Amino acid sequence: MKSIIGIRHEDKYLMERRVPLVPAHIKELIEKYGLRFEVQSSGKRVFSDKEFSEVGAGIVQDLSNAGVIFGVKEMPSTFFQENKTYIFFSHVIKGQSYNMPMLNAMIQNKCNLIDYERVANDKGQRLIFFGRYAGLAGMINTLWTLGLRLKYYGHDTPFLKIKQAYTYKSLDEARAAVSEVGRDIAAHGMTPMLSPFVFGITGYGNVSRGAMEILDLLPVKEITPQELVAAGANLTPDPFCVYKVVFKEEHISARNDESDFDLQHYYNNPGEYHSIFEQYIPHLSSLINGMYWDSRYPRIITRDQLMASYSVNRIPKLLVIGDITCDPDGSIEATVKGTYVEDPIYVYDPFNAEIVSGYETDGIQIMAVDILPSELPRESSEAFSSALYEYVDAIAECDFSKDFAELQLPMDIKRALILKQGKFTPDFEYIQDYL
């Protein structure tokens, strides 16, 4: 017998409005497979209770009857019930200490845990993700932040026309606003003293491509990292455009033994590399970080590098860092915390490593919203649901009491099964060391 499927309301963040499955897909799943859905009532979700009810889902206050429960973000330790299956972004695969109590609760309750972050094909490519929408919202927010930051330094620029992503009714409305700014820059230019205005983007995956979708609505000239360094301060000033530089791993890190960079060697032996990103910092106006990072790899920018590059009594070249990946104390060491949608930016003082909320003080401006896709909740949920849809019936049908090898699950999902009846599956036994 297929399990009742529950959709949990999101409560980790005030402004978290996404859903893992949208009403249109739930309607199809009910009609095609005869699945039963119970949706936990929510007053803030981007899709209303009524929209779910109209497609045949039950609206409930708790999910006690559901055997399979889908969510987006982490769930409280007290939420889990014995022998149930939970699917969400658990953020435990790096051994994140703040989520170990939650994981312990799941182990004690003999739960099954499937993590979207590990749903991948046989080439290791992720299949269910919000990354593109993190990039889209992150770039919109970075441009909005630039307008505020430049205003603080006395410059009224076209960027002041851009608002924070969540305030737009749709992604199309946000695109139109950025496109208008692009036309303004192309026609009238920006303050000449700000030129050349250079955007750096780290990475080339879904997050970075999403960011570039927005940036490319401006009049953009793309140059390589090598060209940026070669030109340096002599890069042609052009107030009628902005420059774009995309950084890959080979531009960010180098081998300690000074031999040629090798990407696979870098992945296998990150400890044998060091950051060389410092050479670009003096030439960047804004940096958008969209690259995966964990503690094995060299940082992209350290606090010491920022302190060395920052000068008091003048407008800094590097005005805003849009840290879309948002790893606190991670690849961008000045990202000391993730921020909330309702309090999205802060200024980092490179001399004492302290932060001040907002933008009206001296230092390096950081935008590091932790749930960027929720600023575009409807579109990001629809895209995510489209990818998740095809796996829902198999998860509802699965008998998790069988041995791991015998589980009737698509391999894409099986690769993402971290816990089976409270025990780590083979690929995730390493997490035991972090408990």
Packing angle, helices 131-152 and 206-215, rounded to 10: 50
Does residue 431 sit within a domain?
no
CA distance 382 to 275: 38
Q: Per residue in 226-261, pLDDT tens?
A: 999 999 878 999 999 999 999 999 999 999 999 999
Verify that 189 and 252 share a domain, yes or no: yes
Burial class (CB in 10 A: 0-12, 13-18, 19+), 71: buried
Q: What is the mean pLDDT of the chain?
A: 95
Verify that 258 and 328 share a domain, yes or no: yes
Contact 340, 15 (CB under 8 A): yes
Verify that 23 and 152 share a domain, yes or no: no
Local structure of residue 78 (DSSP, 8 states):
G
Q: Is the pLDDT of residue 182 over 80?
A: yes
Verify that 164 and 240 share a domain, yes or no: yes
Q: Is the pLDDT of residue 140 over 80?
A: yes
Verify that 172 and 235 share a domain, yes or no: yes
Q: Per residue in 7-49, pLDDT tens?
A: 999 999 999 999 999 999 999 999 999 999 999 999 999 999 9
The owner of tokens 């409807």 is 378
Does residue 120 sit within a domain?
no
User: What backbone phi and psi angles, to 5 degrees, belong to 126?
Assistant: -65, 145
CA distance 409 to 400: 10
Q: Which domain holds residue 210?
A: 131-375
Contact 397, 408 (CB under 8 A): yes
CA distance 351 to 317: 17
CA distance 307 to 185: 31
Verify that 293 and 309 share a domain, yes or no: yes
- Which pLDDT score, from 0 to 100, does residue 1 have? 65
CA distance 26 to 53: 10
Distances (CA, A) of 372 to 137, 203, 296: 6, 17, 25
CA distance 5 to 89: 17
Does residue 263 sit within a domain?
yes
CA distance 300 to 252: 7
Verify that 206 and 87 share a domain, yes or no: no
Verify that 68 and 151 share a domain, yes or no: no
Verify that 293 and 165 share a domain, yes or no: yes
Which residue among 351, 375, 399 closes a domain?
375
37: left (phi over 0), alpha (psi -120 to 50) or beta: beta
Instruction: Report which of 251, 295, 244 is spatially closest to residue 270, judged by C-alpha positions.
Output: 295
Element housing 191 (H / E): none
Greater model confidence, 2 or 336: 336
Q: What pTM value is reported for the model?
A: 0.93
CA distance 270 to 419: 28
Verify that 368 and 396 share a domain, yes or no: no
Distances (CA, A) of 199 to 74, 100, 108, 214, 369: 33, 37, 48, 12, 19
Does residue 218 sit within a domain?
yes
- Which pLDDT score, from 0 to 100, does residue 310 have? 82
Does residue 126 sit within a domain?
no
- Which pLDDT score, from 0 to 100, does residue 190 have? 93
Does residue 125 sit within a domain?
no
CATH of residue 176's domain is 3.40.50.720
Tokens of 278: 């410092």
CA distance 360 to 52: 43
Tokens of 176: 């139109």
Beta bridge partners of 198: 243
pLDDT tier for residue 337 given thresholds of 50, 70 and 90: very high
- Which pLDDT score, from 0 to 100, does residue 219 have? 98
Does residue 338 sit within a domain?
yes
Distances (CA, A) of 196 to 139, 189, 191, 193: 19, 11, 10, 8
| Domain count for the chain | 2
Verify that 168 and 100 share a domain, yes or no: no
Q: Per residue in 292-326, pLDDT tens?
A: 998 899 999 999 999 888 876 567 899 999 999 99
Verify that 135 and 148 share a domain, yes or no: yes
Q: Is the pLDDT of residue 72 over 70?
A: yes
Does residue 336 sit within a domain?
yes
- Which pLDDT score, from 0 to 100, does residue 309 have? 84
- Which pLDDT score, from 0 to 100, does residue 401 have? 96
Neighbours of 410 (CB within 10 A): 15
